[in-house]
Amino acid sequence: MRISTRGRYALRMMLDIARYGGDGTPVSLSSISDRTEISHGYLEQLAPALRAARLVKSVAGRHGGYRLSLPASKTTIRMIIEASIGPVCVVDCVEEPESCERADLCECRIVYTLINQRIAQVLEEFTLEDLLDPSWITEKGTDLERQLVRLEGAPSSS
């Protein structure tokens, strides 16, 4: 699964709203655009999907904008990604077995299903609040740090 630009930008937009509108103050698309360097036009395309998923509420008026519908601690990364790009799905046959004539016979389908489940678990495990305060990394312990080091291509300390 590849998280598209749309998914990454939706996450950046939601982080900005959580950071600058955490007290319920509406955050304008213009200010989000300035801080995140995402074009205003692109944000205008993302906002309806996030609103339809009930992740943000729009506030009309001169000092309007967007605010979170849920607390940052209750807004998972999965909710944001799925609102912006659709369900986590590495191959179509996992969600729609009828899309593949081999779905019932496929030896690989179980692996695809497990991959989907694990990706969904990771996206569900983290919230906007976690990303706003990176101290959670140390709370997760050295195992997560080792995984991050391995991903970055640095030699492992184990």
Is residue 94 domain-resident?
A: no
Q: 3-state DSSP call for residue 12? A: helix
Domain residues for the domain of 143 are 5-86+127-152
pLDDT truncated to tens, each residue of the chain (158 aa)? 678 999 999 999 999 999 999 788 999 999 999 999 999 999 999 999 999 999 999 999 888 999 999 999 999 999 999 999 998 888 877 777 777 777 777 888 888 889 988 999 989 989 999 999 877 666 665 566 666 666 666 554 44
State the pLDDT at residue 156.
45
Is residue 61 domain-resident?
A: yes
Whichever domain contains 29, its CATH number is: 1.10.10.10
List all residues 6 or more positions away from 129 whose beta carbon is below 8 Å from its beta carbon: 18, 71, 72, 73, 75
State the pLDDT at residue 158.
45
DSSP string, 102-138: TTTT-SSHHHHHHHHHHHHHHHHH-BHHHHH-TTHHH
Give me the number of domains the chain comprises: 1
Is residue 48 domain-resident?
A: yes
Show the tokens assigned to 119: 């990706």
Round to whole Å and give the CA distance between 18 and 25.
Answer: 10
Is residue 97 domain-resident?
A: no
Q: What is the reported pTM?
A: 0.80
Angle of helix 40-52 versus helix 77-85 axis, rounded to 10? 110
Round to whole Å and give the CA distance between 113 and 97.
Answer: 11
Is residue 99 domain-resident?
A: no
Is residue 104 domain-resident?
A: no
